[in-house]
Amino acid sequence: MSDVRRPIKAALLQVHSLAGLALALLWAVVGITGATMAFEDEIEASLNSHIMRVDASATRRLTPDELVARLQSAGDFGRASAVTMASDPSAAVRIRFARSEGGARPSSVYVDPYDGHVLGSPRAEDFFATVRKLHRWLLLPGDGNGIGRKITGTAAICLIVMLISGLVLRWPHRARSVKMWLKPNLGLRGRGLHRSLHAVIGTWVLPVYLVMTLTGLWYSFEWYKAGANWLLARPVTTTAAMQPKQPRGAAADGKADARANPGNDKRASDPNGEAKALTFDRVWTAFLAQEGDQYGRALLTMPAGAGTAVRVRSWLPDSSLESVRDEFRIEAVTGRVISADRYADKTFGERILAGVLDIHRGAILGWPGKLAFMLAAAMMPLFTVTGLLLYLSRRRHRRLARQPVGHLVPGE
């Protein structure tokens, strides 16, 4: 190694080691939780197949408001905040609820679309919700508006530094040898085996980790999201995408504002001046006028705070990706379509932005991609263990190699 490269590699090793020691446990938690959520949809569908399907009937299916009314008459479930309708006559309807005064969100329920009776709450919903909060915000207070979001984002940036420094540190003398890059030496023992596993498996997962971190930053920093929109989206789309989201506390603020001004907080005033809660049916009718029977599944979501614009996301019957959807904003009071964002009209860059989540978890490549990303995420603890062992081994090696210094005595 040349005299110039030696101090550079030594400095990189220090950075790589210290950053790894400081953040290894955090990366392991994020990796394990990400792997746990890889096949969340498939797991929930398997666990809840008995309540997600009903016997198809020639009877008219109930409208969203009729379903909500029958649900509320059956028990105190809280205020309905979202309804998922399907064109499939044998698919149950899923209803989600707004957060309570204490900030907790009740479990959603599946209901029969023909008579509105409750089929049950989905299993594993609360489990995956907790895992998701741990993955994104480390279960710290504030959720998406708290410090946890910034910590995981900073850890993602540090992981990029780790990947680049690790690649430089392991660059072999025979860089063109595929065997040197991709085949671990399992015949080694001790430090040699740890180093081989750490370096070679790290090379295997490096592209996946880069994709995960670069897309994961989308959920951590608004400046990163704004930059991505500026780079990939058309100017009009960028302006719309950069509108600030309603804070989670806005719902509570909206309730306080409603007490001062009953015309706000997702309510509309009738001609007599009385406030009425927003309902789904006008939105549902307007959506059907737009889409007809071309949709496969539609999610109607009430606004989180003050306002009357309901968001409707629509997926085609054969859509397998979360990102391949149309999105509408519909005025709940009048049924007027405020905006229609169709996937078919998006540019290539805008489709990348819409598919950040599918790219982040490998779903863009189908189930093989999800499996590959899941395995890569699950391997994160391996680097925590091997990295720590290598650090301790280097410390021990340096201590043994250090020559003892004797004290000079006059006359000797």
Domain end point (choices 285, 312, 346): 346
Instruction: Identify the CA nearest to 331 among candidates 362, 315, 308, 363.
Output: 308
Q: Verify that 145 and 258 share a domain, yes or no.
A: no
Q: Verify that 275 and 342 share a domain, yes or no.
A: yes
Task: Supply the pLDDT for residue 248.
Answer: 46
- Domain region containing 301: 234-346
Q: Verify that 166 and 315 share a domain, yes or no.
A: no
Task: Supply the pLDDT for residue 247.
Answer: 46
Going by pLDDT thresholds of 50, 70 and 90, the confidence category of residue 398 is confident
Task: Supply the pLDDT for residue 406.
Answer: 52
Instruction: Tell me the per-residue pLDDT of 111-143, one tens digit each, with 9 for 90 and over.
Output: 999 999 999 999 999 999 999 999 999 999 888
Task: Supply the pLDDT for residue 397.
Answer: 77
Q: Verify that 308 and 164 share a domain, yes or no.
A: no
With a CB cutoff of 8 Å and minimum separation 6, the contacts of 369 are 362, 363
* pLDDT > 70 in the chain, percent: 86
Q: Verify that 387 and 238 share a domain, yes or no.
A: no
Note the pTM of the prediction, 2 decimals: 0.84
Task: Supply the pLDDT for residue 336.
Answer: 94
Instruction: Identify the CA nearest to 203 among candidates 176, 175, 170.
Output: 170
Q: Which amino acid is present at 353?
A: L
Q: Verify that 1 and 37 share a domain, yes or no.
A: yes
Instruction: Identify the CA nearest to 168 among candidates 18, 15, 46.
Output: 15
Of 262 and 47, the structure prediction assigns the larger pLDDT to 47
Per the structure, how many domains does the chain have?
Answer: 2
115 within some domain? no
Task: Supply the pLDDT for residue 268.
Answer: 57
CA angle 278, 284, 286 (to 5 degrees): 105
155 within some domain? yes
